[in-house]
Amino acid sequence: MIPIVLVGAAGRMGRAVEEAARASADVAIRSHVDRAAPVAALAGGANPGGEAGVWSEDASAVVRSGDVVIEFSVPSVCRAVAGLCAERGAALVSGTTGLSPDDEAAVRTAARRTPVVRSANFSLGIAALHRALDAVLEALPAGWDVEIVERHHRHKADSPSGTALALARRALARRGLGEDALVKGRSGRGAGRPGTEIGIHSVRGGSWVGEHAILFAGDGESIELRHVAESRAAFAAGAIAAARWVSGAPPGLYSLDDVLGSR
């Protein structure tokens, strides 16, 4: 049985991971961490997840050697929890997006001492979309324009989405372009669209779980690749698969591609 500490347990993703874990015989959520945990749970009363396991507001009170921490919360917590996992000898599966370069560096430092799987999107469909992006770019002349349109619910804290950024950065790398070729939204007047840029457009509203479309536009024709997440269950299933994979892995920073490859 893999012991899980779930950080961000009261959030949208935390609740989806809780549900996926309940359906998996080989993982058990030992501790839930969230500053918004219901008072009754913190006092040792009824557990809102309905499963055995303590609730705490503070990950440092519960993370132990041998645990796998699954974290979907906010960047400051992601960074702190990565350090804690390195210190205590716990593995980490982390999906929080919107990390600053400093936060990313802190996670990389932690990954020198403990195994960490980081992904802006734990769904199998987005992993396939990354590969499809490679294949389409490979097949097209460099003159085709690439734009990414993403939509998410009205509560999403960061934009563009981490997934849109990851897709755009993959396209930049394939085209030999730098970060300065990334355009986040367009407004105003200019001399048209230079061929040497990749645009991302963020739409926010309602309860959309997450949608990413990659548009490839040539002269007189276009291609569109689209992924729609209909519920958070797809992300949660990927996070549980990553938890299984990372348990016992050597220290290092891994991606969902590593999890889906052979080991």
Residue 235 interacts with ligand NAD (CB under 6 A): yes or no: yes
Compute the least distance from the CB of residue 47 to ligand NAD, in Å.
15
Residue 251 interacts with ligand NAD (CB under 6 A): yes or no: no
Residue 49 interacts with ligand NAD (CB under 6 A): yes or no: no
Q: How far is CA 253 from the centre of its chain?
A: 14
Q: Report residue 60 as tokens.
A: 């440092």
Compute the least distance from the CB of residue 214 to ligand NAD, in Å.
18
22 vs 153 by CB, closer to ligand NAD: 153
CA distances from 179 to 3, 14, 175, 188, 205 (A): 39, 32, 12, 21, 28
- The one-character DSSP state at 111 is T
**Active-site residue, selected from the candidate residues 32, 130, 152, 212:** 152
156 catalytic? Reply is yes
Q: Closest-CB residue for ligand NAD?
A: 11
152 catalytic? Reply is yes
Residue 159 interacts with ligand NAD (CB under 6 A): yes or no: no
Binding mask 53-82 for ligand NAD (x = CB under 6 A): -------------------xxx--x-----
Identify the H or E element spanning 145: strand 145-152
DSSP letter string over 56-105? ES-GGGT--TT-EEEE-S-HHHHHHHHHHHHHHT-EEEE------HHHHH
- Asked whether 202 and 159 are in contact (CB, 8 A), the reply is yes
Of residues 89, 98, 251, 252, which one binds ligand NAD by CB under 6 A? 98
Of residues 3, 49, 53, 95, which one binds ligand NAD by CB under 6 A? 95
**Active-site residue, selected from the candidate residues 32, 153, 155, 156:** 156
Torsion, Cα 238 239 243 245, to 10 degrees, reads 30
Residue 254 interacts with ligand NAD (CB under 6 A): yes or no: no
Sheet-wide strand order for 182-184: 182-184, 198-204, 145-152, 210-217, 222-229
Q: Which residues are catalytic?
A: 152, 156
Footprint of ligand NAD (CB under 6 A): 8, 10-14, 33-36, 72-74, 77, 95-98, 119-122, 235
